[in-house]
Structures are given as C-alpha cells and as structure tokens.
Amino acid sequence: MSDLRLGDKAPNFDAETSEGKINFYEFLGDGWGILFSHPADYTPVCTTELGVTAKYKDEFEKRDVKVMALSVDGVESHKGWIEDINSTQNTTVNFPIIADEDRKIANLYGMIHPKADNTLTVRSVFIIDPEKTIKLMITYPASTGRNFDELLRVIDSLQLTANHKVATPANWKNGEDVVISPAISSEDAKNIFTKGFKEVKPYLRMTPQPDKK
Ligand code: BEZ
C-alpha cells in the first residue's frame, strides 16, 4: 500500500497506454495533471466518467491540465472500450488510458483498497501541480461516479491560491469572493487586496477574487 500524502512528489512512471508507451512526467510537461483510476473496462459508471472527461477537453486545456486515466485491463481491451465510449457518450476519447495489468502504477499510487476490492482499482483522483507536487487526492467507491465539475472547481481554487494569498470558502465557484489568508495582517491586506475587503471577523476577511495570472 502506498503512503502518498498531499505535498509529496507524484511518482514518475513509464506506462503502456491506449496511445502507446508514455512517460508520465514527459506527458505532463510544465503544466498541471490529473491522474485518475477506474475499476474496469466495459463497466457502466466508468463509461460515463470517461465520456464526460473527453467532453471537458476545452475546460482542461483552458486550465493547462493534462488528463490520464488508468485501469488494470490491457491495451486491446481499452481500445475496444474506447469505441464504445465514443459511440455511447457521443464524444471522442482524447486522453490516454493506462493499461496497468501488473498493477504496478495502481500500487505505486495506492489505488487498490483491498477491503473494497482485492484486485480492481477504486476511483482515485490525483491533481498534480507543475512542480509535480500532489495537491489533491480523493477516493470514491466503485459505485459512485465522480463529479467532474468539482474537479474543475478544485483546479480553479488551487490555481488561484498558487498565485495569491487567498483561500476559497465553502461551495466557492470561480468568480465569487475569496478568503484572505490568516497569515496576512489586515494592515498588509489593505495594500495587497486593491479591490478592498470586508472584515466579518478579524480572522474572516472576504475580498473579490483576484485576477488570475
Ligand atoms: C462501473 O463502472 O459501472 C462499476 C465498476 C465496478 C463496480 C461497480 C460499477
């Protein structure tokens, strides 16, 4: 079992994928990445998830995010399944799916939770920043499809906080007010947050979302 934690370097790997042999770090380049696992090919929830991911291509590109999926089935199985995804979900799969038959990468990233299933991966998601640091890990059970709008929302939050001394509040969406980091004094905040801020409590100060860099 892997003991990866937020802040750890995402492990690099070479993988057989539906788009040929790929080195993970080379694939990511200098941008952001999402690595996410699926229990198995030719399963209904996974089919919808990969269809949505393909449809969100422009949203990922806007945020400079490369996406790579993983399941423990082989390349030929992936290729046949991709045809099904394309026809049933009315899209074109436009990202690689790792064929992790020996479960090397699944184990490296802790995507197999033996008490849920001994051999198949659960629905893990890793968001990785341009320095290859793991910024988010989430784990869903096989029976629950993930919310890809939530992944975009988290990426928006991560990219904002990477460039500004802010955090994002509950249910925040891109464009809404954000929270000033508690590490900033209200005196300093006057100079930093030129759009102004509202002090609800000394520790709870809201400011309009800074412009993204
Ligand atoms: C699915 O993708 O539909 C699925 C996979 C494994 C268990 C349950 C559902």
The predicted-structure confidence for 177-187, as pLDDT tens digits, reads as follows: 999 999 999 99
Instruction: Encode pLDDT of 149-192 as tens digits.
Output: 999 999 999 999 999 999 999 999 999 999 999 999 999 999 99
Instruction: Encode pLDDT of 8-54 as tens digits.
Output: 999 999 999 999 999 999 999 999 999 999 999 999 999 999 999 99
Q: Is 93 in the pocket of ligand 1 (CB under 6 A)?
A: no
Instruction: Encode pLDDT of 59-105 as tens digits.
Output: 999 999 999 999 999 999 999 999 999 999 999 999 999 999 999 99
**Confidence at residue 141, expressed as pLDDT on a 0 to 100 scale:** 96
Pocket test for ligand 1, best of 41, 42, 43, 121 (most atoms within 8 A of CB): 43
At residue 3, does pLDDT exceed 70?
yes
Pocket test for ligand 1, best of 38, 42, 45, 84 (most atoms within 8 A of CB): 45
Residue ranges of the alpha helices (H) in 57-185?
57-62, 75-89, 104-108, 148-163
Residue 127 is a catalytic residue: no
Provide the phi-psi class of 9: left if phi over 0, else alpha when psi is between -120 and 50, else beta.
beta
**Confidence at residue 1, expressed as pLDDT on a 0 to 100 scale:** 65
Output the CA–CA distances (angstroms, integers) from residue 58 to 7, 37, 63, 132, in the order listed.
Answer: 27, 21, 9, 22
- Residue 36 CA to ligand 1 center (angstroms) comes to 15
